[in-house]
């Protein structure tokens, strides 16, 4: 997660600015100590204590966000695997149907005609290409109709929700 360290740095910078503004508002400077590590910080109600305490608090949040991101990525991988399995089983069923077998045979015939017409005149090549594209479109329509299944749609919606939650950090 390359962005997490920059978020932590930005947060610390904002906290330092807030401390300076608070000190300026009170017209007092924070007391100097001999050991900067033992200095007590009162940045916000959330960030108080020594530098080590503040670091622990910020690190804990970064670790939590990182763990959430990894969990969402794992959920997305599982969901994508499930989607592919469902899609392949639906396509296998479609490939067994007679209308698909007929369309696939027409596609093979159109492909052979297209290959044969490659050395022929332009009008033959265009006609063969047109027939091939129409039959290919028919085959693709049959496959798209098969994959427009409510199960696959629900999996994609689930994935969209996971992606949204990972970008919002919820």
- Please write the tens of the pLDDT for every residue from 71-105: 888 888 998 898 889 888 888 888 898 999 999 99
Tell me if 15 sits within 8 A of 47, measured CB to CB. Answer: yes
- Residue 57: predicted pLDDT: 79
Question: pLDDT digits over 115-168, tens only?
Answer: 999 888 999 999 999 999 999 999 999 888 888 888 888 888 888 877 776 665
Q: Who contacts 32 (Cβ-Cβ below 8 Å, separation ≥6)?
A: none
What's the confidence (pLDDT) of residue 1? Answer: 45
Using alpha carbons, list the distances in angstroms from residue 116 to 43, 109, 110.
78, 11, 10
Cβ–Cβ under 8 Å, residues 43 and 30 = no
* CA 105 vs CA 56, 127, 141, 161: distances in Å: 67, 18, 15, 40
pTM: 0.52
**What per-residue confidence (pLDDT) applies to 151?**
82
Predicted pLDDT of residue 23:
58
């Amino acid at each position: 997660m390359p962005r997490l360290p920059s978020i932590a740095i930005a947060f610390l910078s904002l906290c330092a600015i807030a401390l300076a503004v608070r000190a300026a508002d009170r017209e007092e400077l924070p007391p100097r100590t001999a050991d900067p590590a033992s200095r007590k910080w009162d940045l916000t109600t959330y960030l108080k204590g020594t530098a080590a305490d503040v670091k622990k608090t910020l690190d804990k949040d970064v670790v939590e966000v990182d763990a959430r991101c990894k969990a969402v990525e794992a959920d997305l991988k599982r969901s994508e695997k499930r989607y592919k399995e469902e899609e392949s089983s639906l396509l296998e069923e479609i490939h067994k149907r007679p209308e698909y077998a007929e369309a696939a045979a027409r596609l093979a015939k159109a492909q052979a005609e297209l290959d044969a017409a490659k050395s022929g005149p332009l009008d033959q090549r265009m006609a063969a290409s047109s027939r091939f594209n129409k039959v290919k479109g028919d085959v693709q329509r049959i496959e798209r109709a098969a994959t427009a299944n409510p199960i696959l749609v629900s999996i994609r919606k689930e994935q969209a929700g996971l992606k949204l939650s990972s970008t919002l950090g919820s």
